[in-house]
Structure 1
Amino acid sequence: MASIKEATIYRLKVHSDMVVEKIMGGLQQYAFQPCGKTQELSHGFTPVVDDSFVLMGDHLVLFRYKIEEKILPKAVIEHHAQRRIVEAEEKNGKPLSRQEKDQIKDAVRFELLPQAFSLYKTIDAYIDTQNGWLVVGSCNTTALDYVLGAVRQVVSGFSSELMVTKQEPSLIMTAWIYQEALDFSEFELGDCFKISNGEGSITCRKEDLRDQEIVDLCGTRQVKQLTLESVHYTFDVTENMQVKRLKIDDAYTDSFINNEEEDKLHYLRVNAFVTQQTISEIINTLIKAFGGLVEERLPEEQAA
């Protein structure tokens, strides 16, 4: 599970045991199938190890999602289509309409698809039964939609929500720098951040965030992403409570490895355990720092 370098965390709105039960037996039905010759996109669940679609661990069930996308550069399509458009216009003795040109481009795209190369992406995700979370190893909106949509297919009645805290993370992170208000022991300020004033953003890397020039920047802008450090890992937290650029010290992971068990499954379990514990510590610490979670509102309260 070392592949999780970023994560979006969802609170489950259904019991985690029910989700786990459905996932344990339902993923293979929606398994990934490679793109056909004229298919541009394919995605589905794929085995974690050997033929197993899930990896069980302490308080977690890990699964894996695979996406294949055929890549056809727009310039290539335009090049081939333009030649046909010119030929058609010369033959007909008049310019083609926009609709006719679009039809030619669609035909060219369809014909070139079998020659297109594929881009593959694998996303690890897991159910954290201790915290009642779904953790998806991506911050890409499209990829998240694919994974969540697939989980809903497997788990009838599945429902989840993003973390929403009582205080805005952006305001609190800004205060950590501008007012030197980072006062908890778990994390220290790192050396990177992204700030914005609503019109443009500034990204600083490998800077002393206590430098007065940096502090002054936060007087008129808000922090949108910030690097924090712990003893065993570093990460970025975003204004939406997403984790990015997670890096766990190899020595910390190695301390959990039993040298007598050198099989692939053992390493997967260790990585899964370390990653889960790390993300759990990060998110639960940040929830407290941001004033706690906003409790789910009833439908009539949302309407009011």
Structure 2
Amino acid sequence: MWFKNLYIFAFTKPFTHSEEDLEKALHEHVFARCGSTELSRFGWSNALGKHGESLLHYTNGCFFLNARKEEKMLPASVIKEKLEEKVEALQHEHSRKATKKEKEQFKEDITFELLPRAFSRISDTQGYVCPEKNIIVINSSSRGKAEDFLALLRKCLGSLPVTSFVPEAGAETTMTSWLLEQTLPERFTIGFEGELKAMGDDGAVLRCKNQDLLSDEILAHLGENGEKQVVKIAFDWDQTLSCVLADDLSVKRVKFHDSVYEQNEDIPTDDMIVKIDADLTLMTGEVNRFIEDMLAQFELATNSYLED
């Protein structure tokens, strides 16, 4: 249950739902497996996975939720092949080409025919709501999946006034200054991975791995004589975790230090719910502390496109 990626959103109004009310609302959209002719299903599953039975788990002032999605896997190449067969058959039988509408109907029929035999892929997206910090944190490397999570929660509650964090000057400006001025915030240590990008949609991109980002070689790409800015940067925070921060303030590849895990080593594992609860308490405490420190480094505006 330790989060590996963080998409962070802020509530524009206080989150006032009680544990009882929230769990009741989640039951309106419980996950169920796809029917034989359905392409996908999306809903809430056990918050603690196989170790729990509740859709909601409350600990350390945070509500934990787990959104589960099932998708039927239909290879595009198979559909294309069968579609071509149907089009050729129609042309041979009626001596004419298939219309656009006929092709669309053929494709729909083929999909309907193949769905009962298709393999399924099931994926989970975890997240937690922290009313005290006024944030919701989603464990996903994909913004699309994070927004799907929000949309499902909004559907349950009827309203979910949230917003993303957007630095007024652009996160890339701040991250670039960290390298150029070599004045990192306290508790932050630059890692050996990053991505530099020139201005414009077609701007050149330089990806670095196992590279000293403070070297003259890298710094030459930045500043007055350089054309690039930092859009991703790896760093270590407070001897607690390492991660990669992107210019949209998403946090990827979070790895907690062994010293953090060791704090719960003495907790017995014969009751997994107790062990998971202790891990979640520890994780949320450190993640919330990190988020507060990380966001404090940027002058933030709000991006209201997610607001209800």
**TM-score, normalisation: structure 1:** 0.90
Change (3 A) 1:23 1:250: farther
Match of 2:175 in 1: 173
Indicate the SS of the match to 1:28: helix
In the TM superposition, what whole-angstrom CA distance separates every residue of 1:19-41 from its partner, at most 9, and x where no partner exists?
A: 65532322122110111111111
Match of 1:11 in 2: 10
Indicate the SS of the match to 2:293: helix
Match of 1:118 in 2: 120
Q: Is the 8 A contact 2:44 2:68 kept in 1?
A: yes
Q: Is the 8 A contact 2:196 2:229 kept in 1?
A: yes
Bigger mean CA offset, 142-151 vs 70-79: 142-151
1:247 paired residue among 255, 276, 282: 255
Indicate the SS of the match to 1:32: coil
Alignment of 1:139-288 (within 5 A): 139-182=141-184, 184-197=185-198, 198=200, 199-218=203-222, 219-230=226-237, 231-260=239-268, 262-288=270-296
| Deviation (angstroms), 1:160 | 0.7
Indicate the SS of the match to 1:294: strand
Q: For the residues of structure 1 that align with 2:197 and 2:21, how far apart are their CA atoms?
A: 43
Q: Is the 8 A contact 1:32 1:45 kept in 2?
A: yes
Question: RMSD of the alignment, in Å?
Answer: 2.0
| Deviation (angstroms), 1:195 | 1.5
In the TM superposition, what whole-angstrom CA distance separates every residue of 1:133-169 from its partner, at most 9, and x where no partner exists?
A: 1111124233123211111122233211111334421
| Deviation (angstroms), 1:282 | 2.2
What is the count of residue pairs matched by the alignment?
294
In the TM superposition, what whole-angstrom CA distance separates every residue of 1:53-85 from its partner, at most 9, and x where no partner exists?
A: 111111211111101111111101011121122
Indicate the SS of the match to 1:27: helix
Q: For the residues of structure 1 that align with 2:169 and 2:4, how far apart are their CA atoms?
A: 26
Q: Is the 8 A contact 1:257 1:267 kept in 2?
A: no
| Deviation (angstroms), 1:186 | 1.1
Unaligned runs of 5+ in 1: 298-304
Q: Is the 8 A contact 2:165 2:302 kept in 1?
A: no
Q: For the residues of structure 1 that align with 2:268 and 2:103, how far apart are their CA atoms?
A: 65
> What residue identity is the alignment partner of 1:212?
D
Change (3 A) 1:42 1:220: same
Q: For the residues of structure 2 that align with 1:58 and 1:145, how far apart are their CA atoms?
A: 24
Bigger mean CA offset, 249-258 vs 215-224: 249-258
In the TM superposition, what whole-angstrom CA distance separates every residue of 1:205-259 from its partner, at most 9, and x where no partner exists?
A: 1211111111112232111111110212101111111111111124412313433
**TM-score, normalisation: structure 2:** 0.89
Bigger mean CA offset, 212-221 vs 56-65: 212-221
Q: For the residues of structure 1 that align with 2:303 and 2:114, how far apart are their CA atoms?
A: 49
Match of 1:23 in 2: 22
Match of 2:106 in 1: 104
> What residue identity is the alignment partner of 2:235?
L
Indicate the SS of the match to 1:39: coil
Q: Is the 8 A contact 1:178 1:216 kept in 2?
A: no
Q: For the residues of structure 2 that align with 1:102 and 1:296, how far apart are their CA atoms?
A: 39
Unaligned runs of 5+ in 2: none
> What residue identity is the alignment partner of 1:114?
P
Q: For the residues of structure 1 that align with 2:62 and 2:189, how far apart are their CA atoms?
A: 28
Q: For the residues of structure 1 that align with 2:243 and 2:143, how far apart are their CA atoms?
A: 20
Sequence identity, in percent?
A: 20
Change (3 A) 1:33 1:177: same
| Deviation (angstroms), 1:261 | 5.2
> What residue identity is the alignment partner of 1:39?
E
Q: For the residues of structure 1 that align with 2:143 and 2:169, how far apart are their CA atoms?
A: 24
Q: Is the 8 A contact 2:268 2:275 kept in 1?
A: no
Q: For the residues of structure 2 that align with 1:294 and 1:259, how far apart are their CA atoms?
A: 42
| Deviation (angstroms), 1:296 | 8.7
